[in-house]
Amino acid sequence: MNKSVPQINILFYFLFAIQFTGVAQIDQECRASQPFCSDAAQELTFANTTGDLDGLGEIGCLNTTPNPSWYFLRIDEPGELVFDIQQWVDANTNNRLDRNERQLDVDFIAWGPFQTSFVDCDVLARGCDLNGDDENIRPAECVNNVDDPEFYIQDLDTENITDCSYARTPEENIFTETFTIPNAQTGEYYIILITNFADEAGVIQLQQTNLGEEGAGTTDCSVLEDGVGPDVATCGNFPVFIQGRFSGAIAYQWYRDDGSGNFVIITGATEPFLEVNQNGIYQLRGYSDAGRTNELGRDDLIVQDVSSAITVVLPTVMEESFSGSYTITTELTLIPEVEAGDFTDFEYSLYRDIGAGFNEYRPFQESPVFENVPPGDYRVIARYANCPASEVESDILVILGYPKYFTPNGDSIHDTWTLINIEDQPSALIFIFDRSGKLLKQLIPGGPGWDGTFNGKLMPSSEYWFRVEFNEPTDPNMRRRVFAGSFSLIR
């Protein structure tokens, strides 16, 4: 499974005790929210709620919240996420909105980001604070995103409301609401409340509409399964939160591997989430009874600081010298903990020396292979994804080559011709010939090159040939090779 570095603000436990003055508390149903994800393989529907027309009263932009249903999602790949939310009477129970099925009014409010979905529900803001003074936080100051799509994207509410929307009147026949998370980061959790104004039994669907688009994030579908989430790679940022669940569990207990494969109980860690302050293997066990005697399941994950994951970056060239275009492949040597944990979410950037030091030539990419690279001096920089602290650069990789042309016109640009990167091979022999095979010049490795003259006379624009004897740098034994090619003199 892909493992990425969480880039999220830590919520300390004292936040869980925040109370919003002047408003009733949101009840604890949010802590039992259902996990949700949306990707190309998962278009999930959930049964809506009926029989609770009073709901939770006024929350955010919603004047009423009848029949609230609670969901949470976890971010996998970072970026923007856009969802359509729909609700309908699923007459044929196929979990698909068919043409003859009646849609129901659907409204929602979402909060986040959080380190866990098991927040104290009083943390969820019931109102907005347009002047940002943390006083008089009122639902009346919250905006329907239909009226101002940028209100929550720009965080003008100044609270932890991520988005909020409703159809203004039933006569508008608006049955699809849009929910946007503008800049989600890996590992973040968001909580969503969806209402059922019609009080009719049906299903709710949240479907991500920007999947596959540039800059789009994704949700983590592992939250749908029993157990704990994927292994966590952190860029030196502790504490981090981990969580899990087991169907039917009412009690939990966390354990930690003592380093020998034995899991030792973590005293007091009885919530389905855990604040972790160090590397290790952590295990969650779920029980069907408060006394923790009937175990329903157990699952473990690794928490690993990847800021020092890489020890060596070793790029190599696939092709022999003077091939013209080259492929650079990079191998990494990793610390044992990262190697054993199968953390594989690395990225690579290529830097090139253009005469004034090394500058970025290819931006960071997931593949360790760079294709169609011209001759020159290069370094590869590797890092764990989204972890600048883990960056390690390679030694200089020298690729031999030759210019296809030169223009000896005195403008100091391409005025001479010589081989690229041959200066480190003083034993190399370089000869230049005209089309008839006449020797015009023998070059010294690292010397000034050929200026396009013979016996003090300017040679005409034409095709010229060269021959070089050198030691092949891509061969571990540096075997002696001979290469011949041609280039153009242009006046």
pLDDT digits 0-9 by tens, 121-159 = 999 999 999 988 888 899 999 999 999 999 999 999 999
Residues 300 and 261 in one domain: yes
Nearby residues of 119 by Cβ (< 8 Å), 6 or more positions away = 11, 16, 30, 31, 191
Q: Is residue 41 part of a domain?
A: yes
Residues 168 and 24 in one domain: yes
pTM of the model: 0.76
What does the pLDDT read at residue 28?
79
Average pLDDT over the chain, rounded to whole? 91
Check pLDDT > 80 for residue 444: yes
Residues 249 and 284 in one domain: yes
Q: Is residue 5 part of a domain?
A: no
Per-residue pLDDT of 209-223, as tens digits, reads 999 999 999 999 999
Q: Is residue 7 part of a domain?
A: no
Q: Is residue 4 part of a domain?
A: no
Q: Which residues constitute the domain of residue 219?
A: 13-224
What is the spatial distance between Cα 449 and Cα 442, in angstroms, rounded to a whole number? 9
Check pLDDT > 80 for residue 177: yes
What does the pLDDT read at residue 299?
97
CATH of the domain at 464: 2.60.40
Q: Picking from 21-25, 84-88, 259-263, 353-357, which range would have the lowest pLDDT averaged per residue? A: 21-25
Residues 356 and 273 in one domain: no
Question: What's the total number of domains in the chain?
Answer: 4
HSE of 269 in the Cβ direction (CA atoms, 13 Å)?
21
* Better-scored residue on pLDDT, 266 or 30: 266
**Residue 445 structure tokens:** 């490795």
Q: What are phi and psi of 250, to 5 degrees?
A: -120, -5
First to last CA, the chain: 58
What is the spatial distance between Cα 334 and Cα 421, in angstroms, rounded to a whole number? 31
CATH of the domain at 267: 2.60.40.10
In the chain, how long is the greatest CA-to-CA distance? 102
What is the spatial distance between Cα 434 and Cα 432, in angstroms, rounded to a whole number? 7
Is 342 within 8 Å of 363 (Cβ atoms)?
no
> What percentage of the chain has pLDDT greater than the value 90?
82
| Beta-strand runs (E) in 210-355 | 227-228, 232-234, 240-245, 251-257, 263-265, 273-276, 280-287, 295-305, 310-317, 326-334, 346-353
Is 440 within 8 Å of 434 (Cβ atoms)?
yes
What does the pLDDT read at residue 456?
92
| Domain termination site, one of 305, 324, 358 | 305
What does the pLDDT read at residue 12?
29
Please tell me whether residue 122 adopts helix, strand or coil conformation. helix
Residues 351 and 257 in one domain: no
What is the spatial distance between Cα 335 and Cα 228, in angstroms, rounded to a whole number? 25
Per-residue pLDDT of 225-256, as tens digits, reads 999 988 999 999 999 999 999 999 999 999 99
Please tell me whether residue 121 adopts helix, strand or coil conformation. helix
| Domain termination site, one of 364, 399, 434 | 399
Residue 169's pLDDT band (cuts 50, 70, 90): low
Check pLDDT > 50 for residue 8: no
Q: Give, in order, the Cα–Cα distances in Å from 291 to each of 226, 251, 282.
A: 21, 8, 21
Is 280 within 8 Å of 257 (Cβ atoms)?
yes
Residues 76 and 165 in one domain: yes
Nearby residues of 167 by Cβ (< 8 Å), 6 or more positions away = 105, 107, 146, 174, 175, 177
Per-residue pLDDT of 389-440, as tens digits, reads 999 999 999 999 999 999 999 898 999 999 999 998 999 999 999 999 999 9
> What percentage of the chain has pLDDT greater than the value 70?
93
Q: Is residue 245 part of a domain?
A: yes
What is the spatial distance between Cα 26 and Cα 200, in angstroms, rounded to a whole number? 23
**Residue 232 structure tokens:** 């966590």
